[in-house]
């Protein structure tokens, strides 16, 4: 059976490397003896077509600042900086340009497309050492990282207490995301975050003394950008930053880390196993895809930090990623 041709039009958001992965999947299905081979091929074609339609919808909207005046109203980067600081997590989408909203939908459409392809690989019963599933996994998590990077930038843009030059830089990068989302993502704009998230996803937390030393070593060995770790090794590191890094390393809230530390002190323990610390996946979460769980890994820390800000509670008011990206935007704009 000859592999069917896939329709990647000129507006497709799949780049050449991604298209190669999709073609490899189609060829694999075509060569298989799966009883539902034709149905699987149709699924691939249909989902590529649907993602293309979302990309076409995105292309139908003009660049964010191509229409800058309506009567006496003007808009531009500076007005967007002033606007986003009025937003919060509950209202942010009411403040974003339509092109940004459609672009976020495109990222999710691509993510779900790759997730379907991963399920097809499982259906085909590929060997554990087959090269295709890791490729699909890479593209799928690239979508997750793009969504996360945008979330971090939006958070910095909404930070009314943040330095104005950092908020301007965050908005500038957001606009770059929105204008080129069909081809570029976090791995192009913020490789430090993409590499760090990739490394964090690959390590297994051991808890131990809960200082995070072993996790730091595993992060670096797994490809974490050293600059990310260097930031949290500064002599001037404050308590909030230190606790945010601990949350990132260990994967639980500061409040739980403190409770576990008190438990260890009470029982005269020097370390805990992941099971004793309650770090195992809940049965309900085991049913969700790994990429969903990794997105939740960020969002749970983000929402906990937001709650501390709102209630003026002790503990980190930002995630580790927000602290790091804010630092690098500060360096970039100040010329340090």
pLDDT at 87: 96
Q: How confident is the model at residue 281 (pLDDT cuts 50, 70, 90)?
A: low
Assess whether pLDDT exceeds 80 at residue 109: yes
Domain boundary among 135, 169, 185: 185
pLDDT at 208: 60
Assess whether pLDDT exceeds 90 at residue 65: no
Write the pLDDT tens digit of every residue in 76-93: 889 999 999 999 999 999
Assess whether pLDDT exceeds 70 at residue 186: yes
Question: Could you tell me if 27 and 164 lie in one domain?
Answer: yes
The 3 state secondary structure assigned to the chain is CCCCCCCCCCCCCCCHHHHHHHHHHHHHHHHCCCCCHHHHHHHHHHHHHHHHHHHHHHHCCCCCCCCCEECCEECCHHHHHHHHCCCCCCCHHHCCCHHHHHHHHHHHHHHHHHHHHHHHHHHHCCCCCCCHHHHHHHHHHHHHHHHHHHHHHHHHHHCCCCCHHHHHHHHHHHHHHHHHCCCCCHHHHCHHHHHHHHHHHHCCCCCECCCCHHHHHHHHHCCCCHHHHHHCCCCCCCHHHHHHHHHHHHCCCHHHHHHHHHHHHHHCCCCECCCCCCCCCCHHHHCCCHHHHHHHHHHHHHHHHHHHHHHCCCCCCCCHHHHHHHHHHHHHHHCC
Question: Could you tell me if 206 and 150 lie in one domain?
Answer: no
How many domains are contained in the chain?
2
pLDDT at 211: 56
Summary mean pLDDT of the chain: 89
> How confident is the model over 265-272, as a mean pLDDT?
78
The 3 state secondary structure assigned to 91-154 is CHHHCCCHHHHHHHHHHHHHHHHHHHHHHHHHHHCCCCCCCHHHHHHHHHHHHHHHHHHHHHHH
Nearest Cα to Cα of residue 140 among 161, 124, 116: 116
DSSP 3-state of 165: helix
Domain boundary among 185, 218, 245: 185
Share of the chain above pLDDT 70, in %: 90
Distance CA 222, CA 240 (A): 26
Question: Could you tell me if 181 and 293 lie in one domain?
Answer: no
Question: Could you tell me if 288 and 309 lie in one domain?
Answer: yes
Tokens of 70: 């309506």
Question: Could you tell me if 27 and 144 lie in one domain?
Answer: yes
Question: Could you tell me if 174 and 241 lie in one domain?
Answer: no
Question: Could you tell me if 242 and 300 lie in one domain?
Answer: yes
Domain boundary among 185, 206, 241: 185
Question: Could you tell me if 229 and 140 lie in one domain?
Answer: no
Question: Could you tell me if 80 and 96 lie in one domain?
Answer: yes
Question: Could you tell me if 240 and 145 lie in one domain?
Answer: no
Residue 145: CB partners within 8 Å, gap ≥ 6? Answer: 185, 186, 187, 193, 194, 197, 198
Question: Could you tell me if 38 and 130 lie in one domain?
Answer: yes
Distance from chain centroid for Cα 139: 12
pLDDT at 257: 85
Query: Torsions phi, psi of 78, nearest 5?
Result: -70, -40
Residues of the domain holding 306: 190-336
Question: Could you tell me if 54 and 177 lie in one domain?
Answer: yes
Write the pLDDT tens digit of every residue in 119-171: 999 999 998 899 999 999 999 999 999 999 999 999 999 999 999 999 999 99
Structure-derived torsion over alpha carbons of residues 155, 334, 229, 260, reported in degrees to the nearest 10: -50
């Amino acid at each position: 059976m000859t592999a069917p041709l896939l329709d990647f039009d000129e507006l497709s958001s799949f780049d050449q490397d991604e298209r190669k992965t999709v073609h490899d999947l189609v060829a694999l299905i075509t060569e298989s003896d799966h009883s539902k081979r034709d149905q699987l091929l149709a699924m691939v074609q249909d989902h590529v077509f649907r993602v293309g339609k979302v990309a076409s919808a995105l292309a139908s909207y003009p660049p964010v600042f191509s229409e800058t005046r309506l009567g006496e109203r003007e808009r531009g980067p500076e007005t967007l900086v002033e606007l986003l600081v009025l937003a919060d997590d509950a209202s942010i989408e009411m403040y974003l340009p339509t092109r940004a909203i459609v672009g976020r939908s495109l990222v999710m459409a691509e993510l779900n497309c790759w997730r379907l392809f991963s399920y097809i690989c499982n259906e085909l019963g590929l060997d554990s050492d087959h090269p295709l599933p890791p490729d699909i996994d890479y593209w799928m998590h690239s979508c997750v990282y793009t969504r996360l990077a945008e979330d971090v930038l939006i958070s910095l843009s909404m930070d009314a207490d943040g330095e104005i030059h950092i908020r301007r830089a965050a908005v500038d990068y957001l606009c770059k995301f929105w204008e080129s989302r069909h081809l570029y993502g976090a791995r192009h704009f913020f490789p430090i975050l993409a590499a760090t998230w990739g490394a964090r996803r690959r390590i297994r937390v051991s808890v131990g003394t809960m200082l995070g030393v072993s996790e730091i070593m595993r992060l670096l060995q797994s490809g974490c950008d050293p600059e990310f770790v260097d930031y949290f090794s500064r002599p001037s590191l404050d308590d909030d930053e230190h606790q945010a890094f601990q949350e990132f390393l260990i994967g639980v809230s500061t409040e739980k880390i403190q409770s576990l530390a008190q438990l260890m002190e009470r029982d005269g323990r020097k370390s805990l196993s992941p099971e004793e610390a309650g770090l195992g996946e809940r049965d309900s979460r085991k049913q969700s895809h790994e990429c969903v769980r990794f997105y939740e890994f960020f969002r749970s820390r983000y929402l906990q930090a937001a709650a501390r800000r709102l209630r003026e509670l002790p503990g980190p008011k930002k995630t580790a990623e927000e602290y790091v990206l804010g630092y690098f935007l500060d360096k970039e704009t100040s010329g340090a």
